[in-house]
């Protein structure tokens, strides 16, 4: 079981760091630039760019939109890998040997995705860093103003809220794609269809749960 968990950590967590880092850095930069361009009043302090970037990244972008991206990358991988085993009758072979197939295939993925908050932490850091780089090197403000904005009116509960969402989204990323992969029927063509369906429903559930958690925790 341990080698399976380590393999899934490599596939699902470490293998996703590159795309998460790339997207987070540049989206943070875009948020900072757009915020700066929309601050048309001279009465608005330049530090608001850092404040708005921090709030956008921590509250919504990092936990929610990265999770939707991961539903495409990680969710499709989980569904296709388990679905391929179903099509090639490897799951049937495991059950014939007396192995609990769900425990053998799904549990390691569930354990691997408990490290998902680590990915979101990196997304938060790089998003804010990307905003800083875009702001300073794009000529939209100074580093001092941006850092002041990032520190402005900081509420620790927002981190708590973001990571509650992250743990719930990790559960959805582990269970919904696994369900569609494990219980799929048909041949190789249906593997692709199951991957698409799992991505759609995982994304829908992430959006719905995000709305509910936001209403409960911040409403």
pLDDT value of position 38: 85
pLDDT averaged over consecutive 10-residue blocks of the chain (219 residues)?
A: 84 92 94 87 81 92 93 92 87 84 87 93 95 89 88 89 94 93 84 90 96 90
In terms of residue numbers, what domain contains 43? 2-217
Helices 116-137 and 143-151: crossing angle in degrees, nearest 10, is 140
C-alpha–C-alpha distance, residues 161 and 151, integer Å = 18
Residue 21 tokens, joined: 């880092």
How many other C-beta atoms can be found within 10 angstroms of the C-beta atom of residue 187?
9
The total number of structural domains in the chain stands at 1
Nearest to 28 by CA among 116, 109, 125: 125
pLDDT value of position 122: 95
- φ, ψ for residue 187, nearest 5 deg: -115, -155
pLDDT value of position 22: 96
pTM, two decimals, is: 0.89
pLDDT value of position 1: 67
C-alpha–C-alpha distance, residues 82 and 78, integer Å = 6
How many other C-beta atoms can be found within 10 angstroms of the C-beta atom of residue 64?
22
């Amino acid at each position: 079981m341990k080698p399976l968990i380590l393999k899934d950590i490599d596939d699902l967590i470490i293998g996703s760091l590159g795309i998460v880092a790339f997207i987070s850095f540049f989206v943070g930069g875009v948020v900072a630039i757009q915020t700066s361009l929309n601050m048309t009043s001279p009465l608005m302090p330049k530090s608001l760019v850092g404040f708005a970037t921090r709030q956008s990244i921590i509250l919504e972008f990092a936990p929610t939109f990265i999770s939707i991206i991961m539903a495409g990358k990680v969710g499709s991988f989980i569904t296709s890998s388990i679905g391929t085993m179903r099509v090639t009758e490897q799951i049937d072979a495991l059950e014939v040997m007396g192995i609990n197939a769900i425990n053998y295939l799904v549990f390691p993925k569930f354990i691997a995705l408990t490290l998902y908050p680590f990915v979101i932490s990196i997304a938060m850091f790089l998003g804010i860093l990307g905003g800083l780089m875009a702001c300073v090197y794009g000529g939209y403000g100074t580093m001092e103003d941006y850092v002041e904005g990032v520190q402005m009116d900081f509420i620790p509960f927002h981190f708590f809220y973001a990571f509650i969402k992250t743990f719930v989204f990790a559960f959805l990323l582990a269970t919904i794609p696994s369900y569609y992969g494990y219980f799929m029927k048909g041949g190789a063509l249906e593997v692709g269809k199951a991957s698409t369906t799992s991505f759609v429903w995982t994304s829908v559930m992430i959006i719905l749960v995000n709305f509910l958690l936001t209403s409960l925790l911040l409403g």
